[in-house]
Chains A and B, each alone.
Chain A
Amino acid sequence: MTLELVVLIKVVPDGKEVFVDPVNFTLNRSMATNVLNPADENALEAALKIKDEHGARITVMTMAPPFAEPFLLECMSRGADQAVLISDRAVAGSDTYPTSLTVAAAIKHLGKVDIVFAGEKTSDSSTGHVGPGVAEFLEAELATYSRSCRYEDGFVIAERELEEGVEVVKIPTPAVVTVITDSNNPRRATLRKKLNAQKKGIIVWSLQDVGLPSDWVGLRSSPTVVKKMLPFPAIERKGKVIALDMIDDFVKELVDSGIIKRGGN
């Protein structure tokens, strides 16, 4: 049986074009164009690699307004087989909880699924909730922070990049894998594939299609409350260059200025 892979994507404002309002710390997105969330590009590439090796059907999915369509087509032209847009007025204002719920419902609606890929986090909100949330609702195994993964006889073997080092996990399918940014080189779409994708088009589902009542989603069913936006103070770099033979002096300077403490021995 062909492997069924799902890749979750999100369209986000280009992080390099978003600025923090200096007064109330909200994000100014007025100059920003939309892009595919960077980690999602790596998630798609991770799925495509498994497709290259084992053959698979890849479905890309997003819950978004219709402006996401070109990005779904872009994913199809990189090698995904179909794309689903979950678009419904009722989902407006949803936080990661109803989003995970809706996406999980859509995945179930799709039928059998082996591996769900998602970006480890999105560049615009950075919660990292949706992948684990979907795993919970699907009752699937989960591997977060994956930098590479492969499929072997009903199992996903993922290398997880953690602060302490790399952990290799082997989990049975169905599984959710969240992929970290820059973990692979996303392939390019070709003109031919872009034309084919445009011809084929995307699938649009409403809440009703995926079998969810509209009062389970949206702003009112979202537990997140934004109380206040606070700035994360920028740290001024001193930009000092230290010659190799000055290391001892440098360490002393750091200690003297209270930046580091000398360890006891």
Chain B
Amino acid sequence: MSEFDAIVVGGGPAGTSAAMRLAANKLNVLLVEKADPPGSKNVSGGVLWGNSLSGVMPDWEKTAPLERYVKSKGIGFLTKDSSIDINFRSTKFNETKTGYTVLRTKLDQFLNKKAKDAGVTVVTGVTVDRLAFEGKKVVGVEQDGDIITSDAVILAEGANPRVAIDSGIRPPLKDEDVAIGVKEVIKLPEKTINDRFNLREKEGFAGEYVLGFLDGGVEAGGFLYTNKDSISLGVVISMKHLRENNKTYSYDIVEQFKNHPSIAPLLEDGKVDEYSARMVQEGGLASIPKLYGNGYMIAGDAAGFSFSNGLILQGMNYAIASGIAAADTVVEAKAGSGISEQSLSRYEEKLMNSFVLRDMHTFKGIGDITWGSLIHQKMPGVLEKVMLGLFMEDGEPKKHVNQIVKEALKSSGLKSSKLLLEGYRMYKRM
């Protein structure tokens, strides 16, 4: 007899959701989290998109520590001197809230407490070393030489899955799988934020930016999200492109973003209160490992579930949904034929039927395009020239829009056929 029906490694969104769902089904669950208090080592942008949490907490919008709901959504293309912004605001966001800004230390502590209240045995401040095997079957986890046994283990250890790698069930990460996320939290009075971003109480702004101006042509995306009385701002830097560049420091890039003429005024008089960094899963479908085996499943970032198009970054909702799917798989297996590789293969089926894997199939290969120099290097420049052509009054005779676009493309060295081709590929994938 095992000590637990299931052990969940990692108390982030994936792990806590899995644990809550298992406990709700009366299973005896152990959740192990290395940080104490939980969440104190985790970093997200972070907007929690979607409604996945309702699967374990129907009233989460009322009870969870949420900063603001996204009322205003921005996309910006930044060149050295200019920015072209698209800002989308909608009263529709009032009725159906699509995203909330969150701070992970608060959110994760809340989720771990909810798991505990649901009957999960929560242990914090201990790091699981490895999976424990009997032959090829996973029989629990190993920690400091002790083995704690369980029928199933759900690995939800986040973006640097040491347990999975050190247990030999997934390959080490490669450049293409990851990006480097670097973030700052900047304190500003609530009212100042409301004024600067044209928001009312509880309304928030979420902006993503293509940084087309970085020194040495590094490719990175920027984000800026409003919390109640602070701004979360950061960059996501492609590992592959930073390596090719090999002369820009990752920690300088976020400063370049902050100092951009269209960003700096938004932060004026703000006080940097925290600096943080975490690896981001970005590989898409290509970096997803084998998701299950005899006695284990992998969920959340550890499995590479996230969606990124170089602009927008989503992982928490995928983490929650995959954690719930893993938990349901254990519940069904225990009620049916028992835990085996066969019975846990239902996990992958569940993911295929949910947005987790469906999105990843839909956006297969999008990374090539978004991180491609087209969006990051050329597009902002082309847009800038078009805008200047349209709006600059320089005493020259006015040109037709067509002509302006053509000239802008020409000076960027982009062929319109290439733009069409890439544009079409992108369109197909979005």
Q: Which residues of A contact B (CB under 8 A)?
A: 33, 74, 188-192, 194-195, 198
* Cβ of B369 under 8 Å from chain A: no
B40 adjacent to A33 (CB under 8 Å): yes
Interface size on B, residues (CB 8 A): 15
Contact bitstring B136-149, A, C-beta under 8 A = 1, else 0 = 00000101111010
The answer, among B40, B121, B144, for a CB contact under 8 Å with A198, is B121
Question: How many interface contacts (CB-CB < 8 Å) are there between A and B?
Answer: 33
Least Cβ–Cβ distance between B169 and chain A, in angstroms: 20
Query: Could you tell me the distance between the alpha carbons of A189 and B30 in the complex, rounded to whole angstroms?
Result: 17
Contact bitstring B283-308, A, C-beta under 8 A = 1, else 0 = 00000000000000000000000000
25 contacts between A and B (CB under 8 A): A33-B40, A74-B125, A189-B125, A189-B126, A190-B126, A190-B143, A190-B144, A190-B146, A191-B123, A191-B126, A191-B141, A191-B144, A191-B146, A191-B148, A192-B143, A192-B144, A192-B148, A194-B123, A194-B125, A194-B126, A195-B121, A195-B123, A195-B148, A198-B121, A198-B123
Q: Tell me whether A191 and B32 are in contact in the complex, defined as CB-CB below 8 angstroms, given that A74-B125, A198-B123 are known contacts.
A: yes
* Cβ of B37 under 8 Å from chain A: yes
Least Cβ–Cβ distance between B127 and chain A, in angstroms: 9
Chain A residues near B121 (CB, 8 Å)?
195, 198
Chain B residues near A195 (CB, 8 Å)?
30, 121, 123, 148
Chain B residues near A188 (CB, 8 Å)?
144
Query: Could you tell me the distance between the alpha carbons of A189 and B126 in the complex, rounded to whole angstroms?
Result: 7
* Residue on A nearest B123 in the bound complex, by CB: A194
Chain A residues near B143 (CB, 8 Å)?
190-192
Contacting residues of chain B (14-44) with chain A, CB-CB under 8 angstroms: 30, 32, 37, 40
Query: Could you tell me the distance between the alpha carbons of A204 and B425 in the complex, rounded to whole angstroms?
Result: 67
Least Cβ–Cβ distance between B228 and chain A, in angstroms: 13
Least Cβ–Cβ distance between A196 and chain B, in angstroms: 10
Query: Could you tell me the distance between the alpha carbons of A33 and B35 in the complex, rounded to whole angstroms?
Result: 13
Query: Could you tell me the distance between the alpha carbons of A201 and B263 in the complex, rounded to whole angstroms?
Result: 53
Contact bitstring B93-137, A, C-beta under 8 A = 1, else 0 = 000000000000000000000000000010101101000000000
Q: Tell me whether A33 and B123 are in contact in the complex, defined as CB-CB below 8 angstroms, given that A190-B144, A192-B148 are known contacts.
A: no
Which 7 A-B pairs have CB atoms at the shortest separation, nearest pair first? A191-B143, A192-B146, A190-B144, A191-B126, A194-B123, A33-B37, A191-B148
* Residue on A nearest B142 in the bound complex, by CB: A191
Q: Interface SS of chain A: helix, strand, loop or mixed?
A: helix
* Residue on A nearest B126 in the bound complex, by CB: A191
Query: Could you tell me the distance between the alpha carbons of A190 and B143 in the complex, rounded to whole angstroms?
Result: 7
Chain A residues near B125 (CB, 8 Å)?
74, 189, 194
Query: Could you tell me the distance between the alpha carbons of A139 and B383 in the complex, rounded to whole angstroms?
Result: 83
Chain B residues near A192 (CB, 8 Å)?
143-144, 146, 148
Q: Which of A33, A74, A191: most chain B CB closer than 10 A?
A: A191
Chain A residues near B123 (CB, 8 Å)?
191, 194-195, 198
Contacting residues of chain B (136-171) with chain A, CB-CB under 8 angstroms: 141, 143-146, 148
Contacting residues of chain B (226-259) with chain A, CB-CB under 8 angstroms: none
* Residue on A nearest B146 in the bound complex, by CB: A192
Chain A residues near B126 (CB, 8 Å)?
189-191, 194
Besides the contacts A191-B128, A191-B146, what 19 more A-B pairs have beta carbons closer than 8 Å? A188-B144, A189-B125, A190-B126, A190-B143, A190-B144, A190-B146, A191-B32, A191-B123, A191-B126, A191-B141, A191-B144, A191-B148, A192-B143, A192-B144, A194-B123, A194-B126, A195-B30, A195-B121, A195-B123
Query: Could you tell me the distance between the alpha carbons of A174 and B144 in the complex, rounded to whole angstroms?
Result: 36
Least Cβ–Cβ distance between B158 and chain A, in angstroms: 18
Least Cβ–Cβ distance between B82 and chain A, in angstroms: 38
Chain A residues near B40 (CB, 8 Å)?
33
Least Cβ–Cβ distance between B275 and chain A, in angstroms: 15
Chain B residues near A189 (CB, 8 Å)?
125-126
Q: Which of B32, B40, B144: most chain A CB closer than 10 A?
A: B144
* Residue on A nearest B40 in the bound complex, by CB: A33
Query: Could you tell me the distance between the alpha carbons of A191 and B8 in the complex, rounded to whole angstroms?
Result: 13
* Residue on A nearest B129 in the bound complex, by CB: A191
Chain A residues near B37 (CB, 8 Å)?
33
* Residue on A nearest B30 in the bound complex, by CB: A195
Chain A residues near B32 (CB, 8 Å)?
191
Chain B residues near A74 (CB, 8 Å)?
125
* Residue on A nearest B37 in the bound complex, by CB: A33
Query: Could you tell me the distance between the alpha carbons of A191 and B147 in the complex, rounded to whole angstroms?
Result: 9
Query: Could you tell me the distance between the alpha carbons of A188 and B123 in the complex, rounded to whole angstroms?
Result: 14
Query: Could you tell me the distance between the alpha carbons of A192 and B144 in the complex, rounded to whole angstroms?
Result: 9
Least Cβ–Cβ distance between B118 and chain A, in angstroms: 16
Least Cβ–Cβ distance between A22 and chain B, in angstroms: 13
Query: Could you tell me the distance between the alpha carbons of A190 and B32 in the complex, rounded to whole angstroms?
Result: 11
Chain B residues near A190 (CB, 8 Å)?
126, 143-146
Query: Could you tell me the distance between the alpha carbons of A74 and B30 in the complex, rounded to whole angstroms?
Result: 17
Query: Could you tell me the distance between the alpha carbons of A198 and B116 in the complex, rounded to whole angstroms?
Result: 12
Query: Could you tell me the distance between the alpha carbons of A75 and B146 in the complex, rounded to whole angstroms?
Result: 19
Q: Which of B32, B125, B141: most chain A CB closer than 10 A?
A: B125
Query: Could you tell me the distance between the alpha carbons of A192 and B123 in the complex, rounded to whole angstroms?
Result: 10
Query: Could you tell me the distance between the alpha carbons of A74 and B32 in the complex, rounded to whole angstroms?
Result: 14
Least Cβ–Cβ distance between A76 and chain B, in angstroms: 13
Query: Could you tell me the distance between the alpha carbons of A195 and B146 in the complex, rounded to whole angstroms?
Result: 12
Least Cβ–Cβ distance between A143 and chain B, in angstroms: 31
Chain B residues near A198 (CB, 8 Å)?
121, 123
Query: Could you tell me the distance between the alpha carbons of A195 and B143 in the complex, rounded to whole angstroms?
Result: 12
